[in-house]
Amino acid sequence: MTKRIVIVGGGTGGTIVANLLARNLYRQLISGQVVINMITDKEDHIYQPGFLYVVFDKVRPDEIVRKQKDLIDPHVNLIVDPAVKIDRDNNIVITKSGREFSYDYLVVATGSRIVPENIPGLKEGAHQFYDLEGAKKLRDTLRGFDGGRIAVTIGVPHKCPVAPLELTFMLYDYFKQKGMLNKVELYYTYPINRLHALEPVSNWTVPQFESKGIKYETLFNMEEIDPAKKVVRTMEGSELNYDLLVAIPPHKGSQVVIDSGMGPEGWVQTDKRLLKNEKYNNVYVIGDTTDIPISKAGSTAHFQADVVAERLSSEILEGAASTEYDGKVVCFVETGFEEATYVWFNYNTPPNPAPPSRMLHWMKLGYNRLYWLSARGIL
């Protein structure tokens, strides 16, 4: 009897799972014993870490976009039609156009989205670089910026926790190259009581900021923005004036998850090692969609996709699976235009950042190109 796999979501996690499964289950796909349907709401696949480079004109927007159909193994059925309902009790996914896809196994990889509207004034008063349009708009604004305070603020929750830090370091080098450091004040803020969630990264950042004259404030959680007065007000009771505000909006999970009763904020309950949804043994969850207290990042989705593809392949081919997710995350961290560091950690091993170097920066630039091999399940 044919086994049907449905993958909802065509981002990093969903795409890697689809391509790895297509390789592992090649014979079964050819013979019709297995069918893989990928349901996604977008025709394009965007390499989101590239937004940071778009801001500084280091990458052109079209370099970080590919057609999803060009990334997916031809044995996977690609359905570009947003999922609007996931019925786990009846093993069916329903799309916007009304099509129904039944499944034996489901992978929920619907990701996260920015919700600037959740903080009053944010949409009107702030720039962001967490989507392509925002990155291009910030790039254009920076080109014409003639001086003043640039504040970086961060909503909770947010994905790619190192990106705001990278942006700040790159802003410094950007204005240094333009000979404008005497006209620009960089002011970085962070929601908790240090400069980054990872304590070693935070400890390394403090002297870096102080030597560069980058000001900072911690325990800073945006409550509202007053775009007319150019003021950020916080939950903690402080106020910050700005000339240019770059605010990472808070994030939320996808609407289909919320509408399907799988999690009010769009995050789905997920076993941190098996990556399965509680009570539904045939439902896997990966990437930003999970409620696991771990970084929402492409790297997380990538390593979880490896695990889910292995588990699903074993379940179908062998009847059982033993591979588990150990919490692995790897992040490059740009520390300016010339150098980078990286961190890796898992549930049991704390991070220990490498000393920043040009080599790591080049590796990061290299990975920006190699990503398309990762998406195809090759790297």
Question: Given candidates 277, 295, 335, 374, which one binds another protein under the rule CB under 8 A?
Answer: 295
**Smallest gap, in angstroms, from Cβ of residue 146 to another protein?**
35
Cα–Cα distance, 103 to 3 (Å, whole number)? 8
> For residues 100 and 93, is the Cβ–Cβ distance under 8 A?
yes
**Within 10 Å of residue 158's Cβ, how many Cβ atoms?**
18
**Smallest gap, in angstroms, from Cβ of residue 113 to another protein?**
15
In one-letter notation, the amino acid at residue 74 is P
Residues in contact with another protein, shown as a per-residue x/- string from 258 to 277 under the rule CB under 8 A:
------xx------------
Told to check if 115 binds another protein by CB under 8 A, we report no
Question: Given candidates 172, 345, 353, 377, which one binds another protein under the rule CB under 8 A?
Answer: 345
- Residue 18's nearest CA partner among 313, 278, 277, 262 is 313
Told to check if 98 binds another protein by CB under 8 A, we report no
Told to check if 351 binds another protein by CB under 8 A, we report yes
Cα–Cα distance, 110 to 7 (Å, whole number)? 9
Give the length of the chain: 379
Told to check if 191 binds another protein by CB under 8 A, we report yes
Locate 162 and state its tokens. 């190192």
Cα–Cα distance, 299 to 346 (Å, whole number)? 12
Question: Given candidates 65, 156, 180, 354, which one binds another protein under the rule CB under 8 A?
Answer: 156
**Smallest gap, in angstroms, from Cβ of residue 199 to another protein?**
8
Told to check if 278 binds another protein by CB under 8 A, we report no
Q: Which residue number, 87 or 326, has a Cβ lying nearer to another protein?
A: 326
Q: Is the peptide bond before 157 cis (omega within 30 degrees of 0)?
A: yes
Residues in contact with another protein, shown as a per-residue x/- string from 116 to 155 under the rule CB under 8 A:
----------------------------------------
Phi, psi of 14 (to 5 degrees): -60, -40
Looking up tokens 């996604």 gives: 40
> For residues 126 and 248, is the Cβ–Cβ distance under 8 A?
no
Q: Which of residues 196-255 bind another protein (CB under 8 A)?
A: 197-199, 219, 221, 235-237, 250
Contacting positions for another protein (CB under 8 A): 156-157, 161, 191-193, 197-199, 219, 221, 235-237, 250, 264-265, 293-295, 327, 329, 345, 347-348, 350-351
